[in-house]
Structure 1
Amino acid sequence: MRRRYLFPILLAMAGAQAQTPPVQVGAWPDKPIRIIVPLPPGGPSDIVLRAALEKMQPQFRQPLVLENKPGAAGNLGASEAARAAPDGHTWLWSTDTLLTVNPHVYKQLGFKPDDLVPVMIASSFSQTLVCNAGLGVKALPEWLKKVKAEKLSYASGGAGSPGHLSTELLLSTTGSDMAHIPYKGPAPAVQDVIGGQVPCGFLAGPTVLPHVRSGRLVALAVSGARRSPALPEVPTVAEAGVAGYDATFSLVLFAPRGVPDPVVAAFTRSLAQALSQPDVVDKLKATDQEVVASNPAVAAKTVADTSRKWGEVARRIKLQLD
Structure 2
Amino acid sequence: MRNTRRHILRQLLVTALASPFISRAASAQGKYPERPVKMIVPFPPGGGVDLTARLMMEPLSKELGQTIIIENKGGAGGIIGVEAMSHAAPDGYTLSLTGAGTLTAGPHLRSKMPYDPMALTQVTRLVRMPFILAVRNDLPAKTLPEFMELAKKQELRWASGGIGTSQHLAGELFTQMSGLKMIHVPYRGTGPALNDLAAGIVDAYFGDPATLGLIRSGKARAMAVTSPERWSVLPDTPALAEAVKGYEAENWYGLAAPAGTPKPIVDRLYAAISKVLAEPDVKKKYDESGLTPALLPPAEYVAFLKRDSVTWGDVVRKGNIKIDE
- TM > 0.5: yes
Task: Give me the whole-angstrom Cα distance separating, in 2, the residues matched to 1:188 and 1:89.
Answer: 35
What secondary structure is seen at the aligned counterpart in 1 of 2:240?
coil
Task: Give me the whole-angstrom Cα distance separating, in 2, the residues matched to 1:284 and 1:213.
Answer: 17
Q: 1:277 to 1:96 in 2, by over 3 A?
A: farther
Task: Give me the whole-angstrom Cα distance separating, in 2, the residues matched to 1:148 and 1:277.
Answer: 47
Flag the structure with larger Rg: 2
Task: Give me the whole-angstrom Cα distance separating, in 1, the residues matched to 2:213 and 2:78.
Answer: 27
Match of 1:11 in 2: none
Q: 1:235 aligns with which of 217, 234, 238?
A: 238
Partners of 2:63 and 2:276 within 8 A in 1? no
Task: Give me the whole-angstrom Cα distance separating, in 2, the residues matched to 1:29 and 1:39.
Answer: 25
Match of 1:224 in 2: 227
Match of 1:64 in 2: 68
What secondary structure is seen at the aligned counterpart in 1 of 2:123?
strand
Q: Which moved more, 1:221-230 or 1:210-219?
A: 210-219
Task: Give me the whole-angstrom Cα distance separating, in 2, the residues matched to 1:183 and 1:154.
Answer: 11
Q: 1:46 to 1:24 in 2, by over 3 A?
A: farther
Q: 1:282 aligns with which of 267, 281, 284?
A: 284
Q: How does 1:61-210 map to 2 (within 5 A)?
A: 61-207=65-211, 209-210=212-213
Letter in structure 2 aligned against 1:224:
S
The Cα of 1:129 is off from its aligned counterpart by 0.7
Q: 1:88 to 1:177 in 2, by over 3 A?
A: same
Q: 1:213 aligns with which of 203, 208, 216?
A: 216
- TM-score under structure 2 length normalisation: 0.85
Match of 1:12 in 2: none
Partners of 2:227 and 2:249 within 8 A in 1? yes
The Cα of 1:27 is off from its aligned counterpart by 4.6
Partners of 2:54 and 2:70 within 8 A in 1? yes
Task: Give me the whole-angstrom Cα distance separating, in 2, the residues matched to 1:196 and 1:95.
Answer: 30
Match of 2:20 in 1: none
Task: Give me the whole-angstrom Cα distance separating, in 2, the residues matched to 1:64 and 1:199.
Answer: 41
C-alpha deviations, 1:13-41, integer Å up to 9, x for none? xxxxxxxxxx9842533443221111112
In the alignment, structure 2 segments of 5+ residues that lack a partner are: 1-26
Q: 1:227 to 1:297 in 2, by over 3 A?
A: farther
Identity between Structure 1 and Structure 2 (%): 33
Match of 1:42 in 2: 46
Letter in structure 2 aligned against 1:29:
P
- TM-score under structure 1 length normalisation: 0.86
C-alpha deviations, 1:246-280, integer Å up to 9, x for none? 10111101122222222111111101111222232
Letter in structure 2 aligned against 1:287:
S
Task: Give me the whole-angstrom Cα distance separating, in 2, the residues matched to 1:164 and 1:158.
Answer: 7
Q: Does 1:244 align with 2:246?
A: yes
